[in-house]
Amino acid sequence: MKPRSMNSRRWLDVAIKTLSGVAALGGCFMLGWILFVLVARGAGALNWDFFTKLPTPPGVEGGGVANAIVGTLAITAMAALVGVPLGMLGGVYLAEFGRGTRLAAAIRFSANILMGVPSIIIGIFVYAMLVQPMGRFSGYAGSLSLAIIMLPIVVRTTEDMLAMVPGSLREAAMALGAPRWKVSFGIYFRAAKAGILTGILLAVARVSGETAPLLFTSLNSPYWNRFDSVTGAAQSFAQPTANLTVTIFNQAMSPYPDWQQSAWAASLLITFGVLALTIVSRFMLQRRNG
Amino acid sequence: MEKQSTNMDQAETINPELTGAQPRRLSMDIVIHIAVAGCALIVLLLIFAIFIELVRGSSLVFHRLGLDFLAKSQWNPVTGEFGALSSLFGTAMTTVIALALAIPLSLAIALFLVEMAPPKIATIVGGAIELLAAIPSIIYGMWGLFFFAPFMADRVQPLIQRFTGQFPLFSGPPMGIGMLTAGLVLALMVLPFMTAITRDVFRMMPPVLRESGFALGATTFEVTRKITIPHTIRGIIGATFLSLGRALGETMAVTFVIGNDHGIAASLFAPGSSIASTLANEFAEASEPLYLSALMGLGLVLLVITLLVQVVAQLWLGWMRRGRGGNA
């Protein structure tokens, strides 16, 4: 290696430092740019109608995306209802009952891999499994694909959080003669509650902004789902169900300015919803650790 | 691990008061054991189910077209021509552009966060960059289509062409949407992910290594290049694999800005399509069995690629973790 003068080494150092400072600022600038655009283009269309009315045909004033807001909430809630309990129980297996076994290692490995499977592939899978045999798109299919995306996240978070509980707690409970399942659910879960809740919130935040897995499962709809009775709601959830992200996709790709305007407002809503969930759960995690 | 389980066994056998209740309690334990194992098994089974379902769904196209499906680039649903190559090309190109940009940028940002910024600023800047990862991908698509693509068309692409002339890689009308823009938006999307991992592996390096470098009079850049990066290179490679997996399957943002044209052009300014964008655009419309099967085939190709990347990434990270345990 040829020796270089102190001066050129200093200059190189300053140049690289400047570059990385600029890169870091650039990253922050991009976040600022995207958020600014969302507020600038979307805030104007956030009015009472937006939250309470159905979408109108292009050119007709005063439509909203109320059905899509309710639909996104319903699809996400249904997904969490399936994904969260299954994921938590799976996590208990990895952290407790199956600890150290080959099977647990294989499941942990496949959970990591499933997290990396593109969400659009999950959408196609649910299409082939549920939509094709049933002969129609449905809110249930949308929920199922979101649940599949949540499952490995919840499994791994639950396992990690349970693993952080001190072993002495378990030994103390075992020494008192408590059965294993009681130790797992009564003691471990209580100790890891906050962490698991944070993980679930993060998983919900992630799937609630997903579009690709809903494109061919819940599709979209310009109408309300029925809510007059439980069976009515259950039946209408078996029909194509409106949701915010696919609505954004359809409206943004359309050539109509008023639809694009509505897409911006919906984007603003979903982004700040997801960011708020993310920040709240991060904050919870930090407070717990700190 | 071994030691703990023997402790537990002892606890169960020693306690005399509980011996009477033991059979019932054990069976309850077994029931719950099976229940939780069943829930965990779903994860494993899902991977196989997804794979089998896509193989089943795409069997028609592989049966009819054979390997032509993978070797040809013409994609015309009307005439029944289905070649995956153009979509595969688009996926590869956008991913390469994204990683070529995201790797050096994330190293630079990690350097800023770990070596340069005071802790408070590092927390704020690091947090802001992590928030980029929380923005839904369709928002990147909206922003990309309505703001970033026009910016590329009006400012960046003419500027590039002024310097490169009619160099084929940058030829053609500056439309904004196309491979390059899609690659750049992808880079922005994997950047927070890659930065977070790089920052964490930089932080995990024993401080004494850096400090001895500084003590010898090395500059910050020299310490980073000669000590930090070589020491953390395994982690950086792992982060690259994980980012690669993300970039390959990213759908909505790419669909908005890639232009959705089935062709293989030499120019990065030309519109194209990726596997994921083709699926997003065409899957809901595919009514012909062969068309649907061809799209399933595209999905299978994407699944196999991402599975390979993920398996390599996980094995690599596992090997890395064991290696670190051995060293310490």
Of A9, A90, A216, the CB nearest to B39: A90
**Residue B80 falls within a domain, yes or no?**
yes
- Across chain B, mean pLDDT equals 87
Q: What is the mean pLDDT of residues A85-90?
A: 95
The DSSP string of B176-235 is: S-SHHHHHHHHHHHHHHHHHHHHHHHHHHS-HHHHHHHHHTT--HHHHIIIIIHHHHHHH
User: Average pLDDT in the A163-184 region?
Assistant: 84
Copy the structure tokens of residue B233: 């290179």
B105: in domain = yes
Residue partners of A93: CB distance under 8 A and separation at least 6? A104, A107, B33, B36, B37, B39, B40
Q: What is the pLDDT of residues B162-192, one digit of tens each?
A: 888 778 888 888 888 999 999 999 999 999 9
At B7, is the pLDDT very low, low, confident or very high (cuts 50, 70, 90)?
A: very low
User: What letter does residue A221 receive in the DSSP assignment?
Assistant: -
Does residue B188 contact residue B94 with C-beta atoms inside 8 Å?
no
Q: What is the pLDDT of residue B23?
A: 53
- Pick from A6-20, B43-57, B313-327 the range whose average pLDDT is largest: B43-57
Which pLDDT score, from 0 to 100, does residue B165 have? 75
Domain assignment present for residue B169? The answer is yes
Query: Span B100-114, mean pLDDT?
Result: 95
Whether B216 has its CB under 8 Å from any CB of chain A: the answer is no
Calculate how close chain B gets to A105, using CA atoms only, in Å: 11
From chain A residues 265-284, the ones with a CB under 8 A of any chain B CB are 267, 270-271, 274-275, 278-279, 282
**Is B250 within 8 Å of A118 when comparing Cβ atoms?**
yes
Is residue B314 less than 8 Å (CB to CB) from chain A? yes
Smallest Cβ–Cβ distance between B108 and the set A23, A210, A253 belongs to A23
Among B234, B142, B253, B232, which residue's Cα sits nearest to residue B190? Answer: B253
Query: Chain A 212-251, CB below 8 Å of chain B: which residues?
Result: 212, 215-216, 219, 245, 248-249
Contact between A90 and B54 using a beta-carbon 8 Å cutoff: no
List the single residue in B with minimal CA-CA distance to A126.
B50
Residue A272, CA atoms < 13 Å, CB-side half-sphere? 13
Per-residue confidence (pLDDT) for residue A285, from 0 to 100: 77
pLDDT at A289: 62
Question: Which is more confident, A213 or A283?
Answer: A213
Higher-pLDDT residue of B6, B84: B84
pLDDT reading at B242 higher than 60 = yes
More confident residue, B325 or B273: B273
pLDDT band at B19 (very low <50, low <70, confident <90, very high): very low
- Coil, strand, or helix at residue B132? helix
**Which of the two residues, A174 and A226, has the higher pLDDT score?**
A174
Residue B18, pLDDT above cutoff 60: no
pLDDT of residue B286: 84
User: What is chain A's mean pLDDT, rounded?
Assistant: 90
* Distance from C-alpha of A7 to C-alpha of A155, rounded to nearest angstrom: 54
Residue B175's pLDDT is 85
A3-7, A11-15, A81-85, B183-187: segment of lowest average pLDDT: A3-7
Spatial distance between the Cα atoms of A270 and A276, rounded to a whole number of angstroms: 10
Per-residue model confidence (pLDDT) at position B26: 64
Chain A residues closer than 8 Å to B246 by CB: 116
Q: With 50 as the cut, is the pLDDT of residue A172 above it?
A: yes
- Band (pLDDT 50/70/90 cuts) for residue A173 is confident
The pLDDT assigned to B6 comes to 44
pLDDT-based confidence at residue B79 (cuts at 50, 70, 90): confident
A111 at B interface, C-beta within 8 A = yes
Q: How far is B115 from chain A (nearest CA, A)?
A: 9
Residue B1, pLDDT above cutoff 80: no
* A255 Cβ under 8 Å from any chain B Cβ: no
| B215–A contact, CB cutoff 8 A | no
Domains of chain A: 65-289 (1.10.3720.10)
**Structure confidence at residue B25 (pLDDT):** 57
A163 touches chain B (CB under 8 A): no
- Burial label for A86, CB within 10 Å (0-12, 13-18, 19+), is buried
Predicted local distance difference test score (pLDDT) of residue A236: 83
Identify the domain containing residue B73 by its residue range: 68-327
> Which residues fall within 8 angstroms of residue A161, CB to CB, at 6 or more apart?
A91, A192, A195, A196, A199
Chain A residues with beta carbon closer than 8 angstroms to that of B135: 31, 34, 209, 271, 274-275
Q: Do B134 and A99 touch (CB under 8 A)?
A: no
In a domain, B277, yes or no: yes
The pLDDT confidence band at residue B5, using thresholds 50, 70 and 90, is very low
The domain that holds B278 is classified in CATH as 1.10.3720.10
The closest alpha carbon to A148, from B214, B192, B46, belongs to B46
Residue pLDDT, tens place only, A209-223: 999 999 989 888 888
Whether residue B294 is predicted with pLDDT greater than 90 in this model: the reply is yes
- Rounded Cα distance between B114 and B108, Å, is 10
- The size of chain B, in residues, is 328
Band the pLDDT of B328: cuts 50, 70, 90: very low
Q: Which chain A residues are Cβ-neighbours of B26 within 8 angstroms? A: 179
pLDDT of residue A226: 73
Total domains, chain B: 1
Q: How many residues does chain A have?
A: 290
Average pLDDT on B231-256 reads: 92
Q: pLDDT value at position B24?
A: 55
pLDDT tier at A74, thresholds 50, 70, 90: very high
Asked whether residue B192 is assigned to any structural domain, the reply reads yes
Q: pLDDT: is A67 or B166 the higher one?
A: A67
**Chain B nearest-CA residue for A97:** B33
pLDDT at B296 exceeding the cut of 60: yes
**In this structure, what DSSP letter does residue B272 have?**
B
pLDDT at A122: 97
Between CA A142 and CA A78 the distance in angstroms is 9
Rounded to an integer, the average pLDDT of B186-203 is: 94
When pLDDT is cut at 50, 70 and 90, the band that residue A2 belongs to is: low
Mean pLDDT along residues B223-237: 91
Average pLDDT over residues A63-67: 88
The answer, yes or no, to whether residue B21 has pLDDT greater than 60, is no
Is B62 within the bounds of a domain?
A: no
- pLDDT, position A221: 83
Q: What is the mean pLDDT of residues A15-31?
A: 94
Best probe of the A interface among B142, B242, B311, B319, by most A CBs < 10 A, is B142
Which carries the bigger pLDDT value, residue A56 or residue A38? A38
In a domain, B259, yes or no: yes
Say whether A113 and B314 touch across the interface (CB within 8 A).
yes
Q: Is residue B55 part of a domain?
A: no
Distances (CA, A) of A185 to A144, A159, A170: 26, 13, 11
Partner A, chain B 60-99, Cβ-Cβ below 8 Å:
none
CB B323 within 8 A of CB B238: no
Residues of chain B contacting A216 with CB distance shorter than 8 Å:
283-284
Average pLDDT over residues B192-206: 92
Please answer yes or no on whether A174 and B12 come within 8 Å at the CB atom. yes
Contact criterion met (CB < 8 Å) for A112 and B314:
yes
A180 to chain B, any CB pair closer than 8 A? The answer is yes
Please give the ipTM for the structure prediction.
Answer: 0.92
